[in-house]
Each structure stands twice: as C-alpha cells, then as structure tokens.
Structure 1
Amino acid sequence: MTLLLMKPTSAGKDTQHERDQTLKKLACVSNQWGALLTIGLDLAKNTFQVCGVGEHSTPIFNRKLKRSQLVQFFAQQPPTTVVMEACYSAHYWGRELAKLGHQTKLIPAQHVTPFVRGNKNDHNDALAIVEASRRPHVRFVPVKSDYQQEILSLHRVRERLQRNRTSLVNQVRGILSEFGVIAPLGVKHLRAKLAHVIGDASCSQGLRNIVANAYVELLDTEQRIEDIEQRLNAFLDEHPCRDIIMSLPGVGLINASAFLASIDKGQAFQSPREFAVWLGLTPQLYASGDVHRMGSITKRGDRYLRTLLVHGARAALSRARNKTDALSVWGNQLVQRRGYNKAVVAFAHRLARLMWILLQRNECYQPQPVLEACQG
C-alpha cells in the first residue's frame, strides 16, 4: 500500500504569499497583452471578476481577484478602457481606476443582460459587460464625483426621514382617535394638537407621556429634514446652473438639487429626446409590419428623478389654469383631451426636454406667448 502524504493547507482566506503569486502570474500574462483593448470588471463586495479582451472580442484572460488585489492589479497595467455595470460601488471604483490612468466607462445593467451566454456566473457576466460595451449606440453613464454622491445621499436620507415622519403622524393620529381626540389634516395642525394634549390635565398621564415622546420625535425628524434642505440649498447656491434650472415651472429646491447632482449640465446626452428616454418618460412602442401601437411610459432610468419631475409637473399644471403662456395653454388643452393624469406625465416629458435645452444654451426659461409659439 502506498500512502500519499499531502501538505496541510490553511483554512480560511488566502495567505499573502498566495495573493502575491496570483499577481505575479497575471503580470506574466500581461507581458503578452500587446493587443489588449478592454477590461470588463464585474463588481462585488469581496471577490471581483476581471476579463481582458483583445481584438475581435477575443478573451485573453478571465479570472477572479480579491478586493485587496484589485488596485494593485490595475496599477500594474498600462492605461486601458475599463468597463463596469452602473451598479453598487461603480462610481467609487470608476474614480479610483481613473486615478491610475484608466478610462472608466459605466454601462447600464439592462444593456448587459442580453449578452450573458450560458449560465449566470461571474465569468460569463464579465465577458458580457465587455461585449455590451462594444455595441454601437450604447450610452454610458458618467462617473459621479464625491460631492455629487454626497448630495444624492442627502436626498436618500431625506426621503427616508419623510417616510418615518409620515408613519409617525399616522400612528399618532390613530392613537389619539382611540381616546376621542381628532386633529385636523396637516402636520402643522397635528403638532399644535399634540402640544395641547401634553398640557391637558384631563388626559391621563400615560397618554400624555406617549404623546410627549411622539412630539419630541416629530420635532427631531423635522429638524433633521430642515438641516438637509439647508445643505441642499447651499449646494444650489454654489452651482452655476442654479438660476437656469430654477426658472422652469414646477422645479424647486429638491428637484433642482437632485437633477444638477445627477446630470450636471446634461453633457452626457446628445439630444433632449435622449434625456427624456433616459428618465423613462417616453411611451413604449410596439411596431411590427404595418402595426404601430404606443403604450405606457417605459419607466426606465432613475425612478427617483422621474418621480420628482412628475410631482413638479403636477404642481405646475395645477397652477396653469389661468395662465396664458404657450406651455400652460398646451397643458390645459391636453388635460381636456387626454385627462389630468396623462397630461401630467406629458407635461413632465416637456419639462425634461426644456431642462436639457436650457442647460445646453445656458439660458433661463422665458414663458412664450401663444401667438409666437404657433408661428414658430
């Protein structure tokens, strides 16, 4: 009988020596990368997949790298094009790889899915990212700066605080109704009612304690929302396009700060229609032969930005009933023909186009008379 003695291996993560050996192997392969054109990077938390492709979409390598190896690996490569999906941590890695001299491109995830061949795994995903990036007419997502991501993070925090405030207000109203206390609609009236209940000696001490805790929580939440809005206002004051985007009807502090932090001056889009398509405000088209049918809007792109623009259009359209400018008259006529809700979405689509045009021209919005609009 022959006994095979195997060298014991350490369980757990790879040792530093093993990681160094992996990078050395990749460095040896990199000497043969004369025709390397694109590197596809499939992002993750700890284990990343890198796929190098040469001419004619020929894969040169496709393997995994640990998070601790990624920066060192790209630092050893000559400047090239690195393509990633526009997803979790993509903007961070886009900035880090740009510091190393690489040209980083972010591609929307929905454009990658049709190119995944075989089973769904990191190997095939990295190759699909490269193949999708080489298609003509693919629009890449611009890499956001640290400051832009900070502003958008403030929007996400504010949205969560608003949901918490709505939940708190509904819960307190339900509790008070069980004791026969009904507050008028509106947070302002509820706040006054809570202060009245706290000082009402006819109410039980237990109820007054519950209301007092809710009152403190409500004030704290509103103060945090106000602090965020002050920071957003400071961001707008520093942006050169503040007056341009704020001149549009239905665009205020929240809409303006969110759009400027996301698209800046709209330089990533070639036309106003492309910007509206990116927001998901264009109708779906079904065309086959002689059949052409338009459906509901696509709802692609950033849902938060689209929601803000639709709400802004609803506010602008509700105040356009007695106005005589071309945009208001067009919106009022559309309400009569297609109904209020459809007119709101169409109005938001028109606002998106106007936003891109004004940002490109560096001009503020000026209401146009109806006669001039008809002659144009």
Structure 2
Amino acid sequence: MTHTIVGVDIAKSVMQIHWVDPETGEVVNKPLKRAAFLEYFANRSPCLVGMESCGGSQHWARRLIEMGHEVKLMPAKFVKAFNIRNKNDAADARAIWMATQMDSKAVAVKTEAQQAVLALHRMRQQLVKFRTMQINNLRGLLTEYGEVMAVGRAALDKSIAGILERLSGRLPAILIDTLRDQWKGLDNLDQQIGQIERRLQEWMRDNQAAKAIAAIPGVGLLTATAAVATMGHANAFKSGREFAAWLGLVPGQTGSGGKIELQGISKRGDTYLRTLLVHGARSIIYRVKEPGPWVDQLKQRRPMNVVIVAMANKLARIIWAILAHQRPYRKDYESVRPG
C-alpha cells in the first residue's frame, strides 16, 4: 500500500502542512492551529507524515502513530538541504515533504518511558555543567587576589577554606561570605546529580536491555540507560556497523573523480551517547590490564586517539548485537562471518 506523503512543519501554535493530492495533483500547503492539528489527521486515511526531529516532535509522532499513520522523523540538517530559497513556514513544510521521500535513516520514535530517561540524562548533564562552571568561576575570582589552585574539585575543596581565611583580613566580609556560600552550593549540586543517578539505577534494575549491555566492559550506568533510550529499537538498524555510523563513529569521506579520501570521524548523530562511548573506550584502553590482542596490535599502527575511537565503535557494535539478538554478553564470544 502506498501512503500519501505529508510534510509537517511543527511549531508552538501553528503547524504548516504540505502534500500533493495523488489523484488531482493539487498542491496543498496550509497552516493549522494547534488545537485542530490532530483532528485534521484523525479524518484522513493512513499516510506517511514527515517531520523535523525537534522540540515536541516525539509527542506528535506518538499521537499520529496511535491514529494509524506512519511517521518519519528527520534531522534538521538533512531537511535544510531541500529548502533552497526563502525560509518561511510554507517553504519549510515543502522541504520536509521532499526530504521525507528520500532514502535516509530516520530518528527513532521513542516511548514516553524512553524519553523520560533521556530527560533525566539531560538534566544531569546540565547540573554537571553548572557545577563545572561554578568551580571554574571560583578559581578565576580567587586568582584575581593572587590565590592560585590546581584544576579540579578535589583541589578546590582542599584549598579554598584556607584561602578564604587568609583573604578575610583583606577583603570585605560580604565577598568572603558570598564566595563561601558559592562553594557550599556545590554540595547541593552533588546531591541533585546523585539523586538522578539513583533514579536511573532504579530504572535499569527493571529494564532487561539496559542490564544486558551494562555487563559490557566500558559500559556503565549512564551509557547503558542512554543507549537503550536513544536507540529506540535495535531492529531499526540493519547491523552494528550501521548503528556505529549513525552515532558518527566512522570516518567522514570526501572525494571526486573516483578518488575517495577518509577524514576524521563524522561526528554525526547523537553527540551525548557518542561522548559516553568514547569515555568508556578510554577507560578500557587506560585502565584494563589486558584489553586484548586486537587493541595491542592497533596501538602499534595507529595514534592513541584513533585506537580509542575504534574501541568506541566496537562498543557500539557490541551493544547493537546484544540488543538485536537478545543474547547476554560473553567475553570469549567470536563472531563468524556468514559464508
């Protein structure tokens, strides 16, 4: 069955739709109020709806799928290539309609539970960012008064009490008290981050997929829960190689005239999950006593950063294999190439 393709440019209040009537060839490009959006699709026969993957797209995708429609979410960068003229809602909806017809890897439509896990990751990421900013801010302010300390939280906690004591005779009390309050405020951020991690741990206890991949060396709580929530369903990818490429853990390519040159990793896909995998790979390379002959051989031929990214690529493939084939992790497992 061939569905009618509808491009939708979603927004806060007004949605723009674009589609072509397959019988008459009439081009429809019109706005819809938010309240009338679902009603419009409720009265239509099943169709393929294309949307940019942006704020609110997951919600609308779930609602449209419940009505029997098929939804294709696409990265904004992919859609942008089809808008070659002025940018407005009508042009954006037309570009989305055109992009929906192209063969491309769609963004997974996530369940509300998966999106809730990713929301916890985003809030934790923001709190960690705030904490790092606060530490650097305190170090920078104290440098203005000749007090220099080493990088890191441990060095700050070790030195700041004595520094504030020394400065108390030179600087106004209002500044000393404020600096002390800012330092103690780091404990509150620690507690919030720890609470989110405990909630992620509770969720992982009830999720078999996350527990299965958490057994992989280099894959911890954050990577396991983020991978399961980000991937959606493992069968959305044909292979582990495709999953690793979707995460941007493969070389970019450039070339012409039949001559192709490989560059650094493409860095496409989900930046957060790719970063976690790279950190996990780094922990294997530097902390595991015997990472394996494959790693040892690679170290002799390639720079260390290339080895780390290669290990991250391997972790992504192992994660996909475990989730796709529903098998536990085995350290001694050897894959067999089909004949």
Q: TM-score range by the shorter chain?
A: 0.7 to 0.9
- Which moves more between the two structures, 311-320 or 219-228? 311-320
Q: 2:137 aligns to what? A: 171
C-alpha separation in 1, matches of 2:205 and 2:161: 36
For the pair shown, the structure with the greater C-alpha radius of gyration is 1
1:219-240 superposed Cα distances (whole Å, 9 cap, x missing partner): 1111111111111111211211
Q: 1:148 aligns to what? A: 114
C-alpha separation in 2, matches of 1:299 and 1:57: 43
1:228-264 superposed Cα distances (whole Å, 9 cap, x missing partner): 1111111211211123211222111111111111114
Residue 108 of structure 2 aligns to a residue in which SS?
Answer: coil
Which of residues 29, 32, 41 is equivalent to 1:62?
A: 29
Q: Which runs of 5+ in 2 are unaligned?
A: none
1:253-285 superposed Cα distances (whole Å, 9 cap, x missing partner): 111111111114422111111111110111122
Q: Which runs of 5+ in 1 are unaligned?
A: 1-34
Q: 2:153 aligns to what? A: 187
Which of residues 68, 84, 88 is equivalent to 2:51?
A: 84
Q: 1:345 aligns to what? A: 309
1:130-157 superposed Cα distances (whole Å, 9 cap, x missing partner): 222223x322222112222222122111
Q: Are the structure 2 counterparts of residues 134 and 373 from structure 1 closer, same or farther at C-alpha, using a change threshold of 3 Å?
A: closer
Q: Are the structure 2 counterparts of residues 340 and 37 from structure 1 closer, same or farther at C-alpha, using a change threshold of 3 Å?
A: same
Note if contact 1:62-1:123 (Cα within 8 Å) is conserved in structure 2. Answer: yes
Which of residues 198, 209, 218 is equivalent to 1:250?
A: 218
Q: Are the structure 2 counterparts of residues 36 and 307 from structure 1 closer, same or farther at C-alpha, using a change threshold of 3 Å?
A: closer
Which of residues 269, 274, 291 is equivalent to 2:237?
A: 269
C-alpha separation in 1, matches of 2:330 and 2:73: 36
Q: 2:187 aligns to what? A: 219
Q: 2:10 aligns to what? A: 43
Residue 62 of structure 1 aligns to a residue in which SS?
Answer: strand
Q: 1:52 aligns to what? A: 19
Q: 2:326 aligns to what? A: 362
Q: 1:13 aligns to what? A: none
Q: Are the structure 2 counterparts of residues 140 and 57 from structure 1 closer, same or farther at C-alpha, using a change threshold of 3 Å?
A: farther
Note if contact 1:317-1:332 (Cα within 8 Å) is conserved in structure 2. Answer: no
What RMSD, in angstroms, separates the aligned Cα atoms of the two structures? 2.9
> How far 1:300 sits from its partner (Å)?
1.0
Note if 1:238 corresponds to 2:206: yes
> How far 1:218 sits from its partner (Å)?
0.7
Q: 2:86 aligns to what? A: 119
> How far 1:124 sits from its partner (Å)?
2.8
C-alpha separation in 1, matches of 2:256 and 2:23: 33
Note if 1:74 corresponds to 2:41: yes
C-alpha separation in 1, matches of 2:89 and 2:335: 54
> How far 1:59 sits from its partner (Å)?
4.6
Q: 1:16 aligns to what? A: none
1:97-121 superposed Cα distances (whole Å, 9 cap, x missing partner): 2233322221233332333354333
C-alpha separation in 1, matches of 2:68 and 2:53: 20
Amino acid at match of 1:46: S
C-alpha separation in 2, matches of 1:247 and 1:65: 48
Amino acid at match of 2:211: D
Q: 1:99 aligns to what? A: 66
Q: 1:17 aligns to what? A: none
Note if contact 1:36-1:53 (Cα within 8 Å) is conserved in structure 2. Answer: no
Q: 1:260 aligns to what? A: 228
TM-score (norm 2): 0.87
Q: Are the structure 2 counterparts of residues 38 and 165 from structure 1 closer, same or farther at C-alpha, using a change threshold of 3 Å?
A: same
> How far 1:77 sits from its partner (Å)?
2.3
The structure, 1 or 2, with the larger RCO (C-alpha pairs under 8 Å, 6+ apart) is 2
Which of residues 285, 288, 295 is equivalent to 2:256?
A: 288
Q: Are the structure 2 counterparts of residues 206 and 64 from structure 1 closer, same or farther at C-alpha, using a change threshold of 3 Å?
A: closer
Percent of aligned positions with the same letter in both sequences? 37
Q: Are the structure 2 counterparts of residues 375 and 43 from structure 1 closer, same or farther at C-alpha, using a change threshold of 3 Å?
A: closer
Q: Are the structure 2 counterparts of residues 318 and 48 from structure 1 closer, same or farther at C-alpha, using a change threshold of 3 Å?
A: same
> How far 1:181 sits from its partner (Å)?
5.4
C-alpha separation in 2, matches of 1:57 and 1:86: 30
> How far 1:212 sits from its partner (Å)?
2.7
Note if contact 1:314-1:344 (Cα within 8 Å) is conserved in structure 2. Answer: yes
How many equivalent residue pairs?
334
Q: Are the structure 2 counterparts of residues 224 and 115 from structure 1 closer, same or farther at C-alpha, using a change threshold of 3 Å?
A: same
> How far 1:182 sits from its partner (Å)?
5.6
Q: 1:162 aligns to what? A: 128
Residue 244 of structure 2 aligns to a residue in which SS?
Answer: helix
